[in-house]
Structure 1
Amino acid sequence: MNLDMREPMVESVGVLETAALLRELTAGLIAVTDFDHGLQALVRITRDAVAGVHGCGFTALRAGEPASVAASDPRLAGLDDLRHGPDSPAMSAIRRREMILSADLAGEVRWPAWTARARDLGVHGVISAPVDIDDQVIGAINLYAGASDLLTPRHQLTAMLLAEHAGLLLAAVRDRARQATQAGERDAALLHDGVVGQAVGVIMTQRGCPPAEALEVLRSAASSLDIPLREVAERLVRTVSRQRDS
């Protein structure tokens, strides 16, 4: 096989690997509601799926301050944590809003303290790509290579696509978390509402179940009967009251 034929084949394999990575990330994060759990899934899946990468990390800032850190390898977690110092590839990517590449850390001078720690941990190349999540949270995804000059233009393309996709997925995770919190607050308010709270107490007594499950039973009945939740609660309370009176 000549070189002209081999190069397109390598590029095609890279495209297929990246597509598989994005599919796996979507499957892994589609139902996650905890942001930190989402970050852990992101770095683990990326490390396992991208050839030539032996570690992956994520650095997140919330309202401009260090927030969450995730690392596929606990030994490398300090490389993503801004508490060890603001000079790092991740912070450069976040500040400049562009991808940062250092294929060989042996000659790197931009982050001397960070580079020394990275090389001591067996990291010899890095790509950091900025990730826009929402108006409160931004970050960078960091790909680490265990040898010099392993990171290629294909890795840069993967990192660019990964950062874009990860931003969308993590924004959805944060949105689901907000919705779950709001739903919990609404449930708490309902449980303290007069007639609904009474109906929940009746169901808990009848079924021996916790409040959240009893409220869900009430909701299910309202949906099946296609009538408001409060009306179902009122009917249940009236029925139980009649039974007691008789």
Structure 2
Amino acid sequence: MNLDTRESMIDTLGVLEIAALLRELTAGLIAVTDFDEALKRLVCVARDAVPEVDCCGFTALRAGEPAGVAASDPARAELDDLRHGPDMPALAAIRRREMIIAQDLDQESRWPGWTGRARGLGVHGVISAPVDVDEQVIGAINLYAESADALTTRHQLTAMLLAEHAGLLLAAVRDRERQAAQAGQLDSALLEEGVVGQAVGVIMTQRGCPAPEALDVLRSAASSLDIPLREVAERLLLTVSRPRDN
């Protein structure tokens, strides 16, 4: 096998690895409705799927909220946490909106406090890539290696593609999270609404189920009959209020 053929095979394997990573990441996040849960899945998928990466973290900045952190290795979570000091690769990537690379922390003079903690935790290389989620959330995904010089140009490409893909998936998670919250508010309003609330109470009594399940029963009936929810509730109350024949 000549050198050109070998390099071509290596490049092909790299593309396949990245494709598999993005596919697994999509499968893991496609139905998630909780942003923090999505971050946890993201860092675990990245750690397991990217060769030579020993742990992965995510630092998230959310407008009006404390910074969020997710780590595939809880013992190393402080490396992604801004509460341990803002002088760190993740924040540098977020501020500069560009990838930050440190292949050998023994030779690194940036972020001295953070670097000392990282080496103490067995980390000797890092790539931090900025992630744009939406107007309210930005962050950085951080890939860590225990061996110096283990992170190569292929890892930089992987980090870039991972950050772009993760941004899209996390934005979708945020949308689903907002929709779920709005649906919850709507449910609360419906349960407090006189006729619907009473009908839900009737179903709860008849079936011995909680209010959300009773409301789903009412919604299912409205969908099957193709009539408004309130009308279904009125019909149910009318039925149970009729005197039974002796």
The TM tier, using the shorter chain, reads over 0.9
Q: Deviations for 1:90-109, whole angstroms, at most 9, x for unmatched residues? A: 01100000001111111111
Q: Which amino acid aligns with 2:93?
A: A
Match of 1:160, SS state, is: helix
Question: Displacement of 1:6 after TM fit?
Answer: 1.1
For normalisation by structure 1, the TM-score amounts to 0.97
Match of 2:130, SS state, is: strand
Which residue pairs with 1:234 in the alignment?
Answer: 234
Distance 1:136 1:207, change over 3 A: same
Which residue pairs with 1:141 in the alignment?
Answer: 141
What is the identity percentage for the equivalent residue pairs of Structure 1 and Structure 2? 78
For normalisation by structure 2, the TM-score amounts to 0.97
Gap regions ≥5 residues in structure 1: none
Is 1:207 the counterpart of 2:196 in the alignment? no
Q: 1:163-242 counterparts in 2 under 5 A?
A: 163-242=163-242
Gap regions ≥5 residues in structure 2: none
Match of 1:101, SS state, is: strand
Counterparts of 1:178 and 1:26 in 2: how far apart (Å)? 19
Q: 1:108-147 counterparts in 2 under 5 A?
A: 108-147=108-147
Question: Displacement of 1:57 after TM fit?
Answer: 0.3
Which residue pairs with 2:73 in the alignment?
Answer: 73
Counterparts of 1:126 and 1:56 in 2: how far apart (Å)? 9
Q: Which amino acid aligns with 1:13?
A: L
Which residue pairs with 1:15 in the alignment?
Answer: 15
Q: Which amino acid aligns with 1:144?
A: Y
Aligned length: 246
Q: Deviations for 1:66-107, whole angstroms, at most 9, x for unmatched residues? A: 421011001110000011110111011000000011111111
Match of 2:5, SS state, is: helix
Distance 1:43 1:188, change over 3 A: same
Question: Displacement of 1:2 after TM fit?
Answer: 2.2
Counterparts of 1:155 and 1:218 in 2: how far apart (Å)? 52
Distance 1:204 1:153, change over 3 A: same
Contact map agreement 2:123 2:146 (CA 8 A) in 1: yes
Alignment root-mean-square deviation, CA: 1.3
Q: Deviations for 1:144-165, whole angstroms, at most 9, x for unmatched residues? A: 0110111111101100000001
Question: Displacement of 1:27 after TM fit?
Answer: 0.6
Is 1:56 the counterpart of 2:56 in the alignment? yes
Question: Displacement of 1:245 after TM fit?
Answer: 8.6
Q: Which amino acid aligns with 1:189?
A: A
Q: Which amino acid aligns with 1:94?
A: I
Question: Displacement of 1:243 after TM fit?
Answer: 3.5
Counterparts of 1:180 and 1:156 in 2: how far apart (Å)? 35
Distance 1:96 1:223, change over 3 A: same
Match of 2:243, SS state, is: helix
The runs of 4+ residues in structure 1 deviating greater than 3 Å are 243-246
